[in-house]
Structure 1
């Protein structure tokens, strides 16, 4: 795994629920919660601890009508934010 193409896995301390194309994620240990819009939910659902970020971006590019550079920037920023907040972990 390279730092430029990380493989993320979901933090098991979070449970989540989808409603109308959006998601709410709840940390069962401390009660913190986060919401995701439809694009964030699509990313979250594709994180499986096996796919590198590049593969997830490829899948999302087929799903959304957006420039690849914009998608890479937006999802890269989202992944970093989710990592900082403890929702995602980088696979070792």
Structure 2
């Protein structure tokens, strides 16, 4: 079950990860635990958007909807599922 994220929820990268592009997809390595993560194309894009001060969920969804053929509702669900996984892994900060 995916969590509910408000549009104003901010998503921000945590430090300690090295990223690289492989075959168009973003992969990253945790410096702390040595684990690799394949973020895929869209997940990599969300990671890039979450740099610095990060972006709100609404801003991320708007950006993805403008670039991909996806409904806003479907995009919100997919972003929420991805963010939930990334938060559980300790990769991103979710500021509600």
Report the TM-score range of the alignment, normalised by the length of the smaller protein: 0.7 to 0.9
Report the Cα offset of residue 21 of structure 1: 1.5
TM-score for the superposition, normalised by structure 2: 0.84
1:71 aligns with 2:75: yes
Which whole-Å CA distance do the structure 2 matches of 1:47 and 1:9 have between them? 5
Q: Which has the higher contact order (CA 8 A, sep 6+)?
A: 2
**Which TM-score applies when normalising by structure 1?**
0.87
Please give the root-mean-square deviation of Cα atoms over the aligned residues, in Å.
1.6
Listed as ranges, the gaps of 5+ residues in structure 2 are none
Unaligned runs of 5+ in 1: none
- 1:52-71 aligned at under 5 Å gives the runs 52-71=56-75
